[in-house]
């Protein structure tokens, strides 16, 4: 029997909005390395770099990792409901993701697909584990990895927490959990405010001339820089939870759904747009000979241009097609069949 992909009508729109939102932050963090941008020297560049560390760095990959865990649960549960070979399909899906990640790694060494694929395999046995246990294990591991600044392994507990959220059907019954989400978001906001105030105490001195510092002053400066980044990572889960909670609550309003609607299509094509961000940054950088020539603040304008381009392209593409191009190839490899790409005229 030919296996068929999940019906596209079963998508949970909130997850697409959140994926789109996460994409906005990821490119801001990735572009300095892709463009070989030197450490900031001017006041505007230093201020922008500090903004990234405070509000962006480490926050958006947490959202993506959590969403990957939810997608993990939805894929397996729906495949099992159809009596498909769920573990075989998902393993195939992860292998394709791993292959894409390995290819992407040659262009973007900080890429995340390989990490998600590897931890996806490690998380497979936890699908059968009770949701309360997954929450407990996920929270303990997340606390440890965040406290010690082990960013590379943080996706694993986040995937477990996303899996648990799927088991609790949190995103399938948001109105039933609205009060809990509101309370959690308020708490996360208060913790985030406290963390930003605490982190700011270690903000590195702007325009410091390292050559003029004494040995003690230099050591203090380096310590402050490390602490500034580490504290940001330690409190990132709270900030990310606040961001997600705020988006979810806003989406309960029809007005905000319309205002944020471009993010839904952006998120539905998350794989295509994530890899597309790398491609566009490198194409722009090499075409206009910007590699190694940009300042920090100048990279923001390139990101804004890519946002506009990808948001428009995502909207236009999904007007005619059911999936993003790479999402379509991913489904094809997962199910070993060719799902219809074009939308029917009556759909």
Provide CB contacts within 8 A for 231, sequence distance 6+.
Answer: 195, 198, 199, 202
Structure tokens at 121: 């395999």
pTM of this prediction exceeds 0.95: no
Q: Is 42 a domain residue?
A: yes
Q: Is 109 a domain residue?
A: yes
Res 2 pLDDT > 60: no
Q: Is 37 a domain residue?
A: yes
Q: Is 192 a domain residue?
A: no
**What one-character-per-residue DSSP string does 262-313 give?**
HHHHHHHTHHHHHHHHHHHHHHHHHHTT-TTT--HHHHHHHHHHHHHHHHHH
Res 74 pLDDT > 80: yes
- 345 vs 100: which has the higher pLDDT: 100
Domain that holds residue 277: 8-173+266-335
What's the CA gap between 26 and 202, in Å, rounded? 24
CA angle, residues 117, 119, 120, in degrees to nearest 5:
60
Provide CB contacts within 8 A for 244, sequence distance 6+.
Answer: 18, 63, 66
Q: Is 322 a domain residue?
A: yes
Average pLDDT over residues 310-335: 97
- Return the pLDDT at 6: 41
Number of structural domains (the chain) is 1
What's the CA gap between 296 and 45, in Å, rounded? 5
Average pLDDT over residues 339-346: 83
Q: Is 25 a domain residue?
A: yes
Percent of the chain with pLDDT over 90: 80
- 83 vs 250: which has the higher pLDDT: 250
Res 282 pLDDT > 60: yes
Give strand pairing partners of 321. Answer: 342
Average per-residue pLDDT in the chain? 91
Q: Is 304 a domain residue?
A: yes
- Return the pLDDT at 17: 97
CA distance readout (Å), 175 to 181, 248, 330: 9, 10, 32
**pLDDT tier, 10 (very low <50, low <70, confident <90, very high otherwise):** low
- Return the pLDDT at 8: 42
- Return the pLDDT at 43: 84
**What one-character-per-residue DSSP string does 115-180 give?**
HHHHHHHHHGGGGGS-HHHHHHHHHHHHHHHHHTT-GGGTHHHHHHHHHHHHHTTTTTSGGGGHHH
What's the CA gap between 104 and 295, in Å, rounded? 25
- Return the pLDDT at 7: 42
Structure tokens at 247: 């988006």
- Return the pLDDT at 23: 97
Instruction: State phi, psi for 333 to the nearest 5 degrees.
Output: -70, -35
Lowest mean pLDDT among 172-186, 221-235, 290-304: 221-235
- Return the pLDDT at 1: 36
Q: Is 307 a domain residue?
A: yes
Provide CB contacts within 8 A for 335, sequence distance 6+.
Answer: 2, 3, 4, 5, 89
């Amino acid at each position: 029997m030919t296996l068929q992909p999940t019906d596209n009508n079963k998508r949970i729109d909130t997850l697409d909005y959140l994926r789109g939102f996460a994409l906005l932050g990821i490119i801001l963090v990735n572009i300095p390395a892709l463009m070989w941008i030197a450490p900031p020297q001017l006041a505007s560049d230093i201020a922008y770099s500090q903004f990234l560390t405070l509000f962006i760095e480490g926050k958006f990959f947490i959202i993506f990792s959590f969403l990957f865990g939810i997608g993990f649960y939805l894929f397996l549960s729906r495949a099992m409901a159809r009596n498909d070979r769920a573990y075989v399909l998902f393993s195939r899906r992860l292998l394709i993701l791993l292959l894409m990640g390995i290819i992407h790694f040659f262009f973007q060494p900080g890429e995340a697909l390989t990490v998600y694929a590897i931890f996806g395999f490690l998380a497979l046995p936890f699908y059968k584990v009770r949701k309360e246990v997954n929450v407990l294990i996920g929270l303990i591991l997340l606390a440890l990895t965040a406290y010690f600044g082990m960013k590379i392994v943080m996706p694993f507990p986040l995937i477990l927490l996303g899996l648990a959220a799927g088991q609790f059907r949190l995103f399938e019954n948001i109105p039933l959990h609205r009060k809990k989400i509101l309370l959690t978001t308020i708490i996360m906001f208060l913790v985030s405010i406290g963390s930003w105030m605490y982190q700011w105490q270690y903000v590195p001195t702007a325009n410091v001339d390292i050559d003029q510092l004494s040995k003690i002053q230099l050591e203090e400066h380096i310590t402050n820089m490390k602490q500034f980044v580490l504290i940001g990572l330690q409190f990132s889960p709270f900030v990310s939870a606040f961001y997600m909670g705020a988006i979810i609550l806003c989406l309960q309003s029809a007005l905000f759904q319309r205002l944020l609607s471009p993010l839904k299509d952006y998120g539905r094509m998350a794989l295509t747009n994530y890899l597309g961000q790398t491609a566009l940054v490198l194409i722009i950088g090499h075409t206009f000979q910007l590699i190694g020539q940009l300042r920090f603040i100048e990279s923001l304008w390139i990101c804004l241009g890519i946002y506009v381009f990808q948001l428009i392209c995502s909207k236009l593409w999904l007007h005619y097609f059911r999936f993003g191009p790479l999402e379509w190839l991913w489904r094809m490899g997962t199910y070993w069949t060719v799902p219809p790409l074009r939308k029917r005229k009556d759909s």
